[in-house]
Amino acid sequence: MHPLVMLLFSLHSYFGSYTQSMEPGNVTWPSEFLLLGLSEDPELQPLLYGLFLSMYLTTVLGNLLILLAIVSDPHLHTPMYFFLSNLSSVDVGFTSTTVPKMLVNIQTHSQLITYAGCITQMYFWMLFSGLDIFLLTVMAYDRYVAICYPLHYTVIMHRWLCLLLVLACWIMGVLISLLHTLMALRLSFCSHLEIPHFFCELDQVVHRACSDTFLNDMAIYVTAVLLAICPLAGILFSYSKIISSIRAVPSARGKNKAFSTCTSHLSVVSLFYCTLLGVYLSSAVTQDWRSTAVPSLMYTVVTPMLNPFIYSLRNEDIKRALRGLLGRATSRGPAGPPR
């Protein structure tokens, strides 16, 4: 059994009296779930396997290149690129939570995932999706300070504040994921263990339970509001102040230069939030859960894959660092034959 699940089971047992007061009776944990995936058509499986394998490798390679470029270039050792390096790391983890298991299931022609594996996948999916949201909010604050208070930027965004902001993101992500996972462990599962998705999404797992899920539903709604409204409000507030400051710049060149530092982040925020809100608004309209699996690909797979391209194509500093990185790799190529 996965060490994380063993820890969660231990915590669940520790708080056993509390969970029993919420849900009387014994808790029945299944041995496995069925992930129905995107399609059951056998002719589409090779196409899906090749498509998602290439997307996964592109995501991992692209984000690792961004990380290497930032680490190797001293000019990029600034708060903005420190947050970007953390976002790239989170995107690799976010994609690695769901896609490898989907590839294994397609390759082995199996839809099974163990209960422990499902709980683990659900925990890390919530963790990395929450970290994505928090880091995008912190990056918006960083751009707000850089543009609205340029003379005090290095004083305000000092190293310890950056570390504390990232640490706060991790703490909030871990606590939220741990809360929902522990609450899911108190649920009993009888039958209908088919999940019409390609990964163990929290809402899907909760609604497969045959016990009362009122507390779980309330926690999901409250968390969704907090994760959707509060960070988005912070991002919108930051950009409203940024736009006001840019409008006060007298020259058009100065306005373009100031706004160019925000375009990559704004593109990523728009892509992430539009796809995320689109999925959950569509799930509220339709009861066909299978129809939301395909749109979910946008923010779980496509967005992490596109982020490196957005930042590298729109950012001259990143492009310069990548050219330097590739140049050094080329110069250190295999030596020729001895004379």
In sequence order, the 6+-apart residues with CB closer than 8 A to the CB of 43 are none
Which residue has 């606590």 as its token pair? 175
Contact 81, 57 (CB under 8 A): no
User: How much is the pLDDT for 200?
Assistant: 92
| Distance in angstroms (rounded) separating the CA atoms of residues 62 and 26 | 47
Q: What string of pLDDT tens digits covers the 339 residues of the chain?
A: 555 555 555 555 544 444 444 444 455 677 889 998 887 788 888 999 999 999 999 999 999 999 999 998 888 899 999 999 999 999 999 999 999 999 999 999 888 999 999 999 999 999 999 999 999 999 999 999 999 998 999 999 999 999 999 999 999 999 999 999 999 998 988 766 888 888 998 988 998 888 889 999 999 989 888 887 889 899 999 999 998 888 887 777 777 777 777 888 888 888 888 777 766 666 656 556 556 677 778 888 888 998 888 887 767 788 888 888 777 777 765 554 544
Cα–Cα distance list, 181 to 95, 125, 130, 201, 216 (Å): 19, 11, 14, 11, 10
Sheet holding 112-114: strands in order across? 112-114, 32-35, 194-195
User: How much is the pLDDT for 63?
Assistant: 94
User: How much is the pLDDT for 23?
Assistant: 45
The domains found in the chain, sorted by start residue, are 30-318 (1.20.1070.10)
Question: Identity (one letter) of the amino acid at 65?
Answer: L
Contact 52, 100 (CB under 8 A): no
In sequence order, the 6+-apart residues with CB closer than 8 A to the CB of 137 are 231, 234, 235
Contact 242, 262 (CB under 8 A): yes
Chain centroid, CA 314 distance in Å: 21
Closest alpha carbon to 199 in 94, 77, 44 = 94
